[in-house]
Amino acid sequence: MRKELLPGEQVIVVTRPQPRTLIVPALVFIAVPALAAYACAWIVKGGPARLAPIIAKETKDQTPWLIGVCVGVAAWVLLGYCLPRVMSWHATRYTLTSQRLIARYGMLRRRDQQVSLPAVRHVVIHQSLLQRLVRSGNISLDTGYPSSTVVPDVPEAATFRNYLLDAINDLPREAPGAGDLMHNPDAAWPWETREGGRDER
């Protein structure tokens, strides 16, 4: 990350999405091997033969194949369902620096989303009931464009929002110059600042 920093930029906090998204994959990771082991033991003890006595002889010959099917199904679920979700969570990273908010998604196919802090006008937190229970939330950044930037499922959303606002407040202010007259409608125009004021005609 240090190689990607801009001159004078400092990293404030680095985090990943709230790990509640891993609850279901974790339960599946525990349940599937247990069910597969139970099914293999049931097959070895002759469960299919007792379930269908007509195919008792065929079942004995097919026992290794049935065990292989159980192991294969378990591996398919673990590798096809659990592993991609864990890798997706691990490859997602939110980095807040003194100048930018960087959201990085994906490992093999990467997607980067960067927001310059000086462009941020409003910071809003959206929370569902479950997110409120685990203190996470979706942080929406209004940069003046029609669609705001949303960083999903940020852990400790209120604390992250405070870090973000502090970083915005710590940004250097532009030095007052001629451009300030364009932004300040109450400022005097050049002909009004001369001695004697404007000539009345």
Domain 2-17+94-172: which CATH class? mainly beta
d(CA 198, CA 53): 110
State the pLDDT at residue 96: 94
- Edge-to-edge strand ranges of the sheet holding 136-142: 122-126, 136-142, 149-155
In the numeric block, which tokens belong to residue 67?
């065990």
| Percent of the chain predicted with pLDDT > 90 | 48
CB burial of 59-74 (b: ≥16 within 10 Å; e: otherwise) equals: beeeeeebbeebeeeb
How many angstroms from the chain centroid is the CA of residue 160? 13
d(CA 96, CA 155): 13
State the pLDDT at residue 53: 57
d(CA 127, CA 118): 25
d(CA 58, CA 138): 57
How many angstroms from the chain centroid is the CA of residue 29? 22
Would strands 122-126 and 111-116 be described as parallel, antiparallel, or unpaired? unpaired
Torsion of CA 21, 26, 32, 35, to 10 degrees: -130
Residues of the chain with pLDDT under 70: 1-3, 47-61, 174-201
Half-sphere exposure of 76 (CA within 13 A, CB side): 6
Residue 120, burial from CB neighbour count under 10 angstroms (0-12, 13-18, 19+): buried
Query: Of 107, 172, 159, 168, which Cα lies nearest the Cα of 141?
Result: 168
State the pLDDT at residue 66: 82
State the pLDDT at residue 79: 94
Residue 143 has phi, psi (to 5 degrees) of -110, 10
State the pLDDT at residue 188: 43
The ranges assigned to domains in the chain are: 2-17+94-172, 20-90
